[in-house]
Amino acid sequence: MKRIFIVLAAAAIAVSLCACGENNNAGSESKADSSADSTISAESKETEGGSLAAALERVKKEVTLPRDTSDFNAKRILRTFGIEEDKMEEFAGLYCNDGVTQDQIIYIKAKSNDDVSFIQEKLGNHLQNIYNVIKNYTPEQAAMIEKAAVDVNGKYVSLVISEKADDIKAIFRDAM
């Protein structure tokens, strides 16, 4: 009974956090508008070694991820991390949306070196915030979050929260 209560409490907290991050005018937009409005498309931008979207697709094929995941779009990145589109040259990522599992992958190529610092700070704040919420409810998820870190490589900033973070990072390094 305690476990059920803990899972329900964690789900309620996750839902409330998502609701708190919503824009005042977000309610008037349809789901189709929000996904179509992402003008920075990971698929449309290419880097020297490949695209972030292609690397994410490879991760999806090679790593077993939680079933209930969705790809990040620009609006979701703004709501989740507070990072505006004009700071990103390219991005790719996914998040688990079951309300309990905290798996997240986000890779962002910043437009400038100043943007790198800004993005690194925002991802670090997000990591700390979700740890603070989860640590008392789901210890196994908290342990996974504790192992996560924001990584910077040139203009690329990433955060991988997953039990398979090492495998995911290796695929991205190889793909890029």
Q: What is the mean pLDDT of the chain?
A: 80
Percentage of the residues of the chain whose pLDDT score is greater than 70: 73
Side-chain half-sphere exposure of 159, counting CA atoms within 13 A? 27
pLDDT (tens digit per residue) in 42-56: 333 333 446 899 999
Q: Of 26-30, 50-54, 107-111, 171-175, which gets the smallest average pLDDT?
A: 26-30
Is pTM, for the whole model, over 0.85? Answer: no
Q: What is the spatial order of strands in the sheet that 104-110 belongs to?
A: 69-71, 88-96, 104-110, 156-161, 150-153
Question: What's the first-to-final CA gap in the chain, in angstroms?
Answer: 46
> What b-and-e string marks burial along 5-23, b requiring 16 or more CB atoms within 10 Å of the CB?
eeeeebeeebeeeeeeeee
Q: Which two tokens stand for residue 108?
A: 């962002």
How many beta carbons lie within 10 A of that of residue 35, not counting itself?
Answer: 14
- Which tens digit of pLDDT belongs to each residue from 102-139? 999 999 999 999 999 999 999 999 999 999 988 888 88
Tally of CB atoms within 10 A around 36: 10
User: Which pair of tokens denotes residue 42?
Assistant: 């990971």
